[in-house]
Amino acid sequence: MKSLEQIRADFPILQRQVHGRPLVYLDNAATSQKPLPVLQAMETYYRQTNANVHRGVHTLSEEATAQYEAARSRIARFINAASAKEIIFTRNTTEAINLVAYSWGLDHLRPGDEVLITQMEHHSNIVPWQLICQRTGATLRYVPLSPEGRLRLDLLDTLLTERTKLFAFVAMSNVLGTINPVAELVAAAHRVGALALVDGAQSVPHMPVDVQALGADFLAFSSHKMCGPTGLGVLYGRRELLERMSPFQGGGDMIREVRLEGSRWNALPWKFEAGTPAIAEAIGLGAAVDYLAGLGMENVREHERTLVRYAVDRLSQVEGLRILGPTNGERGGVVAFTLEGIHPHDVAAILDAEGIAVRAGHHCAQPIHDFYGIVASARASFYFYNTPGEVDCLAAALERVQHVFAA
Ligand code: C6P
């Protein structure tokens, strides 16, 4: 594996200064930074190939189509999908989940059916199910949280019943850092005949993910959190399920034939990709997964495991600081916290003045904050290019924040 220094040199933005201080970028759960191979792949595409895909017979269009579809195949390999036909390009994780909610949910849910989600979901895995349950008359249920920020798996057997048609859950919480036992949860869903949708927005960028080993029916994730560009997400779906599902949106490219009397749909995966897709972005994500595979996802996970353990230790020593989520055992590279008597937005603003980027707010997971009786938290989130020195910078800055407010 490259040294940390070599890795950091691949990310031009990490060399910049903010307010006269070296940037300490700790907002990776919101979006990651992009390495040179991704920037170069997109620039080369626009300089040399730019054309629409699946439409032209001219050389540029054929090249663009080949590059776009090659990216799909690389992404399929990255998560060990059985076929590239199981990789649907969407705008982001949010749209991938909405695709399942509307295409599968509207056709399959009726009054008496249940959809099970959890109390630690991001809004994008709550609101689509609220909307679809309202439309279909199905009931939405939640697996509650334990005080340490894990799922109450002891209640799973009573919550998952033959009425449950879908269990949709996050693989790693963007607030608590909790890593859920995905394969176990998928198997529990399957035992009652339910499908399992995994929100992989925070897992696919940070750890090895093998959809066949997990047994997941659907997996949603976003390009921009894994070194790729914004504007692109992925829905993995098992082929036989996708084959049977209705299209999500109608328009160009998703059809085989359009007559005034009606239309027939294109084959997978294009049945779910209406209109001109995000071509440069798909090519960018192809370069991103090559970059991540080059580092090795086991190495990415190991680096973050060490870093977050250090961060939890170091931040626990800051007076009045309370970490949300598990503080021992396995945990992802996300540390959300409160500082007694200081609003998280003030914490983030003072840190920004020192060049340290963290996020403050409810992080699109209000139910978690409700559970802890708070309205917001500050959050540092790490990636493979962060260093122990940056954790020290954060801890020292937080100690100064404490002092300023105590004075
Ligand atoms: N969380 C964060 O700062 P989109 O916005 O569609 O790319 O991803 C949505 C999403 C879904 N699930 C989880 C677990 C997520 O963390 C996110 C995005 C960002 O935590 C932005 S709100």
Task: Express each pLDDT in 233-250 by its tens digit.
Answer: 999 999 999 999 999 999
Contact criterion met (CB below 8 Å) for 28 and 225 = yes
Single-letter code of the amino acid located at 97: I
| Domain match, 322 and 344 both | yes
What is the mean pLDDT of the segment spanning 252-279? Answer: 96
Residue 124 Cβ inside 6 Å of ligand 1? The answer reads yes
CA 115, chain centre distance (Å): 21
| Domain match, 380 and 261 both | no
Mean pLDDT of the chain: 97
Given the CA of residue 359, which atom of ligand 1 is nearest to it?
A: 3
Among the three residues 293, 325, 358, which one is the final residue of a domain in this structure? Answer: 293
Other beta carbons less than 10 A from residue 360's beta carbon: 19
Among the three residues 258, 293, 328, which one is the final residue of a domain in this structure? Answer: 293
Residue 174 Cβ inside 6 Å of ligand 1? The answer reads yes
Q: Is residue 34 part of a domain?
A: no
- CA 201 / ligand 1 centre spacing (Å): 6
Given the CA of residue 199, which atom of ligand 1 is nearest to it?
A: 12
The domain that holds 359 is classified in CATH as 3.90.1150.10
Instruction: In whole angstroms, give the CA distance from residue 362 to residue 378.
Output: 9
Q: Is residue 32 part of a domain?
A: no
Q: Is residue 33 part of a domain?
A: no
Locate tokens 């933005």: which residue? 13
Residue 28 Cβ inside 6 Å of ligand 1? The answer reads no
| Domain match, 101 and 238 both | yes
Percent of the chain with pLDDT over 90: 97
| Domain match, 397 and 256 both | no
Catalytic (active site) residue 227: no
What is the mean pLDDT of the segment spanning 368-385? Answer: 98
Whole-number pLDDT of residue 363:
97
Nearest-5° angle of CA 346, CA 366, CA 140?
175
pLDDT at residue 118 tops 80 = yes
Contact criterion met (CB below 8 Å) for 8 and 36 = no
| Domain match, 316 and 282 both | no
Record the tokens describing residue 125, joined without a space: 């895995």
Q: Is residue 258 part of a domain?
A: yes
Contact criterion met (CB below 8 Å) for 139 and 113 = yes
pLDDT at residue 150 tops 90 = yes
Range of the domain at 96: 39-293
Instruction: In whole angstroms, give the CA distance from residue 208 to residue 344.
Output: 32
Q: Which has the higher per-residue pLDDT, 406 or 159? A: 159
Nearest CA to ligand 1 atom 21: 30
Dump strand ranges (E) for 187-237: 195-199, 218-222, 233-237
Residue 30 Cβ inside 6 Å of ligand 1? The answer reads yes
Alpha-carbon Rg for the chain in angstroms: 22
Residue 203 Cβ inside 6 Å of ligand 1? The answer reads no
Q: Domain total for the chain? A: 2
Instruction: Tell which one of 91, 93, 197, 219 to mutate to probe ligand 1, the residue whose CB is within 8 A of the most ligand atoms.
Output: 93
Instruction: In whole angstroms, give the CA distance from residue 210 to residue 219.
Output: 10
Alpha helices (H) in 245-343, listed in sequence order: 279-295, 297-316
pLDDT at residue 56 tops 90 = no
Residue of 337, 343, 350 lying closest to 401 (CA atoms): 350
Residue 363 Cβ inside 6 Å of ligand 1? The answer reads yes
Given the CA of residue 175, which atom of ligand 1 is nearest to it?
A: 20
| Domain match, 249 and 302 both | no
Record the tokens describing residue 132, joined without a space: 């679809």
Nearest CA to ligand 1 atom 2: 30
- List all residues 6 or more positions away from 211 whose beta carbon is below 8 Å from its beta carbon: 79, 80, 81, 219, 236
Whole-number pLDDT of residue 80:
98
pLDDT at residue 227 tops 90 = yes
The domain that holds 205 is classified in CATH as 3.40.640.10
Instruction: In whole angstroms, give the CA distance from residue 336 to residue 331.
Output: 12
Contact criterion met (CB below 8 Å) for 140 and 130 = yes
pLDDT confidence bin for 381, thresholds 50/70/90: very high
Instruction: In whole angstroms, give the CA distance from residue 158 to residue 394.
Output: 43
| Domain match, 195 and 151 both | yes
